[in-house]
Structure 1
Amino acid sequence: MRKILIVDDHYIVRQGLKQILVSTFQQVVVDEAVNGEDALRRILKSDYDIILLEIVLPDIDGFELLAQLMKLNPRLRILILSMHCEEKYVLQSIKAGASGYLTKNGSPWELVMAIRTVLSDKKYFGVNVVESLFFNHQKAVPEKTPQELLTPRELEVLRMLASGKRLKKIADDMALSLSTVSTYRLRILRKLNLKNNAEIIRYSINCGLAE
């Protein structure tokens, strides 16, 4: 017999979750807690296989409750189920010991899959959560400088192009063939995602490379 505790202060949410759980799992008992104090009282009296926890509660901070629950029993399986999928909430939940994190706008199918995954002592993070973390990580990655993207030769050609020199003049100054300098120019355009010399000049000015 599985025992599941739903901790959420919204009656409609609790009833919706309960209906999904009862219709999906055989021999399951689903209890409800309306706030953190209620959850603590129930957990002290009963052993639950998994707890579905909303981190925004009316009487106690959800992360504080999560920490208290893990302190009472480090083996508790706690799946966060919340409207919030910001990176700070997810990371704080992981740090506090949560077994997984789902958003409430996910599908019933994903909820069931998450519960089964956590019950098998594995971690589960919802699709929306993973996408949010990945998007934030992508935004946080600093843009590489020209010095990191280009070789010393390409950087030298970039500076000359930015100063307005023609390819023939650059080839003469660097003692290179015109075709070699043209190849350097094409590499610069590709690496910096630029289209023409005008964009090279604008890019160089923005990066402080133009003389």
Structure 2
Amino acid sequence: MMKEGAEGILQLWKDTFTNKIKGYTGFDEVEKFKYMAALFSPGKLYYYIINFHDLSFEYLHPGIKEVLGLSPNQTTIFDILQLLPDEEAKSIHQKETFVLSFFEQVQPSDILHYKALYTYRSLDNKGSMHQMLLQAVTLSTTNLGIPEHVLCIHTDITHLRLSPVEQVSFIHLQGGPNHFRCDPSLGKFDPTHRYPTPEQLTSSFSPRELDIIRLLALGKSSVEISQSLGLSSHTIRTHRANILQKANCKNTTQLVAQCLMEGVLV
């Protein structure tokens, strides 16, 4: 029997997508995405291409075995949702409602250009809790502009030891307007609402500073970073202080959370 929270998420997707997509259309470029898997950042992750006509997978990456302990050959979206704690399923339902309302207001020509991202928690099949980052990109739409095939990348970020991040971000992949750290508790995306729009951090940091941020996100100390980059520990500490000042963050944990939600680490 499916959990109530998981069932709510499925029903939301069925009402928004499945019931409006009249026929099955396969995704013709699955092999290309398998080849492009090498472009993703190294680490524990899995991804899938979901067909919203019937909520089936066009492709499921084998990394799901390492992350959640599920078989890539037998797992369905129902199995993945069943691993969500009840309270987390309610939070995801709220975030998904907000994400869907955003895409309802995006120009049809821009639907394929936005990436939505948020964090969530999930159990694996042995009951261990993982903190995850979801990035979702629409790959194709119907002739009515309804998302049909969507690429969803789930990265295990448990090692970052972040406090729960409830916001949702929308990043334009072609240089259009971004919407960072939006509050899904507002119910629906309101284009007239003044969401936080800080300067995108990627353009604020130097390449060296970005290298240091990525190593900080892996939990590396100043000494370890200095050894990796061939710099003195003093230089690394100076860079770290400058990075925190640029980002207006009090500590490394806050910095990593902000960089994550603004696309610096993904």
Q: Please state which structure has a larger fraction of its residues in helix.
A: 1
Larger Rg: 1
One fold, TM greater than 0.5? no
Q: Please state which structure has a larger fraction of its residues in strand.
A: 2
Bigger relative contact order, structure 1 or 2 (CA pairs below 8 A, ≥6 apart):
2
What is the TM-score of this pair, normalised by structure 1? Answer: 0.32
